[in-house]
Structure 1
Amino acid sequence: MIGVVIPAHNEAHFISACVTSIVLAARHPGLGGEQVQIFVVLDSCSDETGAIARSLGAQIIPVEMRNVGAARATGAQAALAQGARWLAFSDADTTVAEDWLVQQLNCRADAVCGVISIENWAGHCAAVQHDFTSTYRDRDGHGHIHGANLGVSAVAYHAAGGFRPLVSNEDVAFVEALIVANVSIVWSAATRVITSARLDSRAPSGFGATLRAVSLQMETTDDFAKDASL
Structure 2
Amino acid sequence: MIGIVIPACNEEQYLEECLHSIHLAIQALPTLSREVRVLVVLDSCTDQSLEIVQRAGVDYLQCHFCCVGKARDLGVRHMIKSGATWIACTDADTCVDTQWLLQQLHHQPADAICGVVEVDSWRNFSFLTRKNYLTHYQDTMNHAHIHGANLSFSSTAYIQAGGFKPLNCHEDIHLIKQMQSLDLKIIWSNLVRVKTSSRLNARAPEGFASFLHQLEMSSRVIK
Aligned-partner Cα distance in 2 for 1:179–1:168: 19
Q: Report 1:44-123 matches (<5 A).
A: 44-108=44-108, 109-123=110-124
Ranges in structure 2 where 5+ consecutive residues have no aligned partner: none
Q: Which residue of 1 aligns with 2:211?
A: 210
Q: Secondary structure at the match of 2:30?
A: helix
Q: Which residue of 1 aligns with 2:10?
A: 10
Aligned-partner Cα distance in 1 for 2:209–2:16: 20
Contact 2:29 2:101 in 1 (8 A): no
Q: Secondary structure at the match of 2:148?
A: coil
Cα RMSD over matched residues?
A: 1.1
Q: Report 1:1-230 matches (<5 A).
A: 1-108=1-108, 109-222=110-223
Aligned-partner Cα distance in 2 for 1:104–1:184: 14
Aligned-partner Cα distance in 2 for 1:29–1:206: 31
Contact 1:115 1:149 in 2 (8 A): yes
1:203 deviates by 0.6
1:28 deviates by 2.1
Aligned-partner Cα distance in 1 for 2:15–2:38: 12
- 2:206 partner amino acid: S
Give the number of equivalent residue pairs.
222
Contact 1:122 1:198 in 2 (8 A): no
Aligned-partner Cα distance in 2 for 1:93–1:73: 19
Aligned-partner Cα distance in 2 for 1:133–1:58: 35
Aligned-partner Cα distance in 1 for 2:127–2:221: 15
- 1:153 partner amino acid: S
TM-score using structure 1 length: 0.94
Aligned-partner Cα distance in 2 for 1:71–1:175: 17
Contact 2:70 2:167 in 1 (8 A): yes
Higher-Rg structure is 1
Aligned-partner Cα distance in 1 for 2:163–2:121: 32
Percent identical residues: 39
Aligned-partner Cα distance in 2 for 1:73–1:116: 21
TM-score using structure 2 length: 0.96
1:32 deviates by 4.0
Ranges in structure 1 where 5+ consecutive residues have no aligned partner: 223-230
1:122 deviates by 2.7
**Cα deviation code 1:93-129 (max 9, x no counterpart):** 0000111011112111110000111131232111111
Q: Secondary structure at the match of 2:60?
A: strand
Aligned-partner Cα distance in 2 for 1:217–1:118: 18
- 2:75 partner amino acid: G
- 1:81 partner amino acid: K
Q: Which residue of 2 aligns with 1:227?
A: none
